[in-house]
Amino acid sequence: MLFNSFVFLLGFLPAALVLHGLAERFRPDWRLPVLLALSFVFYGWWDARFVPLLAVSILVNWLVARAFLASGRRWLIPAAIAGNLATLGLFKYLNFFADLANMVPGAALAHPDWVLPLGISFFTFHHVMYLTDLRAGRAPAYGLTKYALYIAFFPQVLAGPLVRWSEVMHQFDERPYARPDAAERFGRGLMLLCVGLAKKVFFGDPLAGYVNPVFQAAAAGKVVTVAEAWQATLGFTFQIYFDFSGYTDMALGIALLFGIVLPQNFDVPYRAASLSDFWRRWHMTLSRFLRDYLYIPMGGNRHGLPVQLGALLATMTLGGLWHGAGLTFVAWGAAHGLGLGAGVLTRRAGIRMPRLLGWALTALFVVMTWVLFRATSFEAALAVFKGLFGLAPMGSGFKWKTILVAALVAMLGPTAWAAVHRLPPSRWLAAGFAVLFVVLVLKIGDDANYDFIYFQF
């Protein structure tokens, strides 16, 4: 069930709000079970076969946590984390490892071609965060219902944001509609939902029409012209931003409708003046996960420069692999690891560059590496790079207007969260957003309606 679908916007979400509101009003002790049941319905709508996988994953990890607290056997937690990662690997990386093995002469491993369960990367990382903090003594024990809701809460189960247990567990105990600001929070949740959907419908999906044909041509071995290469690369730069930040805004808004505040995930990333600044602004919850659960345990910046550079490269390479089971994703992550390492060396050398130059170099690096992220193979990426560097026919028909408007909105405007919280409540504002929602619903029914990009991860 997609956030940008009729069945969700006009069916599931209104019904879920009514059921949750009735439970919160008349049977507060039913609120969490109702939310959990709704989350499983939402998850199972896509493919009911994977509901048992999610349920068993929750139950097993919760039982391991209970067993660890009861026995103190520290090996239980690493074993559980290894089991979670192995499950992720079976569903997501079997084809990838088969392809690597088939590079050996004489090897001929078949592709299992298992269907990838939606959200498995995200709920696996939620398990890892909780279990790691539990072993370190930072996380307490929770009941099964509350832990299950932490993992399966439907606004964030499919594509994040990655939520730490400490950010959300205490909110499950609140009476959200009894708060004095309940109506205002509900209204701002609806606004966030509309803004996120507008990002997807007005920018993300139209840009996909400029991007997909070019990368499909590159994958088919066709020559990509200079105009096509720049159109597709710049188009994807802003397509992925509006697509993913739009999804996140919708997730934050939907969660707010149910009384839960989720962490923000974007902070105008294309205004970043360095690569480290970019990663503090882009997919912020993943960045801090990689920092706290990979980079720092690998040594971080505490054990000398070589260890720090190696930890950066390893962390970002694994982050690239997490995004997709392909060598192009690995190369994308490794490139960012090398770029972050170069930033460390530059700062160590005392080199300070003007902010405008830092922004220009960061933007150029990010834009160029998006080619690796989007291309389906190195051959396809090379075809696009040839166009970018002028090693192909010039071509014509560069569609710059939509890209320019998208760039201005992405780089000059505030975050959706900041914008909706600055707007004072008013009847005219409510009427305006009501009209916007109607327009968005009509446009969803009229135009191509693409899946969110991060659903594939």
List the catalytic residues: 323
What burial letters (b/e) apply to 261-284, b meaning 16+ CB within 10 Å? ebbbbbbbbbebbbbbbbbebbbb
CB 420 within 8 A of CB 191: yes
Half-sphere exposure of residue 154: CA atoms within 13 angstroms, side-chain side: 27
CB 233 within 8 A of CB 365: no
Q: Which of 287, 297, 285, 251 is nearest to 81 (CA)?
A: 297
Cα distance between residue 385 and residue 383, in whole Å: 6
Q: Which long-range contacts (CB under 8 A, 24 or more apart) does 171-174 make?
A: 171/259, 171/260, 171/261, 172/32, 172/146, 172/260, 174/259
- DSSP 8-state code for residue 28: G
Cα distance between residue 109 and residue 233, in whole Å: 34
Q: Where are the alpha helices (DSSP H) in 414-457?
A: 416-422, 427-446
Residues 6+ apart with CB under 8 A from 255: 153, 155, 156, 189, 261, 262
CB 195 within 8 A of CB 415: no
Coil, helix or strand at residue 138: coil
Q: Is the dihedral of CA 119, 125, 129, 131 positive or negative?
A: positive
Give the Cβ contact number of residue 360 at 10 Å.
Answer: 13
CB 201 within 8 A of CB 444: yes
Residues 6+ apart with CB under 8 A from 330: 317, 320, 321
